Structure 1
């Protein structure tokens, strides 16, 4: 059984997938824990980033639990498809969360674990991590978004190679392919994650949310549509939050800014 342990400190929420011998596999109660954490992240006005990682040194997450999968195949409509619907919704919530979500890939990430990291905004991987989608080895296609997110992140050729041939990528190859932001020796993983979260601590939460939304929409819009969308988001923020004016005043007055408490959910 994989539980999600939540720790929040210094404007960052850390989510630890802790599944012991199951290599942090996913079951319904794992999604329960994850959903509660995202509920808290959405309304925590002080939060600036979320970090997701796996317990231990072997795995980030190997996807759905093998024992649970047996019950899934025994009842596709009653168990399997409802679980996939929940996982789809969870991954979409990650993409729409108003703060960046960083995947700290400490080891093996496959199938559903691979689909989880695809939904994250930034990926930091250990150099010896192994990441891939192995659904086809078991006679099933991806079921939680890998075909769509991989194609958008990697392009047609690399996405098909990864999904159809069950390739495994190490950390440096993930960076080369555009699947990860950086790959570092395992002992430097925490330092690399800290380098990223330190850059968003103290920033305006509405400005972070708007920027993430705009960049996330770019691949699904034409340039003209994207420019209009950015303009709409910009206007929404100026009307609903005073952070832009405060940031300007703080810069001119050479002081730290004092951000407001605008509800960033209305900016979507």
Structure 2
């Protein structure tokens, strides 16, 4: 069975789905572990990024645990649907977290593992990784958001090709299709993730949080609503966050900015 472990170092939390024998499959305990890690990430205002990955080299996550899935089909109303509701909630927390979340895709990802990837802000994948939706292989539609997130990230036809046919994508194809930002040989995967983290460390926490929130709003707002929301958040940031002028002062004084660890969760 998979357990979730997380560690924090140098402004980055790493969350590992640790169940290589089950290919990092998902259970209610895994969802609870992700929830716990996200609780800590929300409260740690020194964070600048979160990395989610799977243990070992075979899999990122193959989705729901096969033994647990049997109990889900035996009692959909009391087992399957509550699990999906809790997984939906965790994926929304990832999307709404005040720092970028990076999926480090080290191997096979399918079904629920694919849906986890889609909820992350960035995807860095191994060339050798294989990613697919595969719900229709079992005659089922997706249940944790891929029907909504995939078209937004891949476009309509590519999302349909991936989800209506038995299509698998390798690392370079994930980049071409818009699922991943970058792909590298598995031996160089950590270096590729490290390059992205180096660009996120040391940035303004309020700046990261508010900019991510604004970028995500494009999926739920019209252009006029989004522009109005941007003006509102820009104004509130200047009114409610003391450090907002630090970047300007540092530029004028020809020094590196010194950012504080500011809680911006109340800036809705």
**Separation in 2, partners of 1:161, 1:208:** 33
| Native 8 Å contact 1:210 1:233 kept in 2 | yes
TM-score normalised by length of structure 2: 0.98
**Separation in 2, partners of 1:138, 1:24:** 20
Partner-residue secondary structure (3-state), 2:169: coil
Partner-residue secondary structure (3-state), 1:123: strand
**Separation in 1, partners of 2:252, 2:200:** 21
**Separation in 1, partners of 2:84, 2:239:** 38
Which residue of structure 2 lines up, in the alignment, with residue 190 of structure 1? 190
| Native 8 Å contact 2:20 2:58 kept in 1 | no
Which residue of structure 1 lines up, in the alignment, with residue 152 of structure 2? 152
| Native 8 Å contact 1:109 1:131 kept in 2 | yes
Partner-residue secondary structure (3-state), 1:46: coil
Which residue of structure 1 lines up, in the alignment, with residue 63 of structure 2? 63
> How far is the alpha carbon of 1:259 from its aligned partner?
2.1
Which residue of structure 2 lines up, in the alignment, with residue 218 of structure 1? 218
**Separation in 2, partners of 1:111, 1:236:** 40
Runs of at least 5 residues in structure 1 that lack an aligned partner in the other structure: none
| Native 8 Å contact 2:71 2:79 kept in 1 | yes
Which residue of structure 2 lines up, in the alignment, with residue 15 of structure 1? 15
**Separation in 1, partners of 2:232, 2:113:** 34
Which residue of structure 2 lines up, in the alignment, with residue 76 of structure 1? 76
Query: 1:83-232 to 2 correspondence within 5 Å?
Result: 83-232=83-232
| Native 8 Å contact 2:20 2:59 kept in 1 | no
Q: What RMSD over aligned residues (CA atoms) do the two structures have, in Å?
A: 1.0
Partner-residue secondary structure (3-state), 1:5: strand
Greater CA drift, 137-146 or 232-241: 232-241
**Separation in 2, partners of 1:166, 1:235:** 48
Partner-residue secondary structure (3-state), 1:159: helix
| Native 8 Å contact 1:62 1:110 kept in 2 | yes
| Native 8 Å contact 1:241 1:260 kept in 2 | no
Which residue of structure 2 lines up, in the alignment, with residue 248 of structure 1? 248
Runs of at least 5 residues in structure 2 that lack an aligned partner in the other structure: none
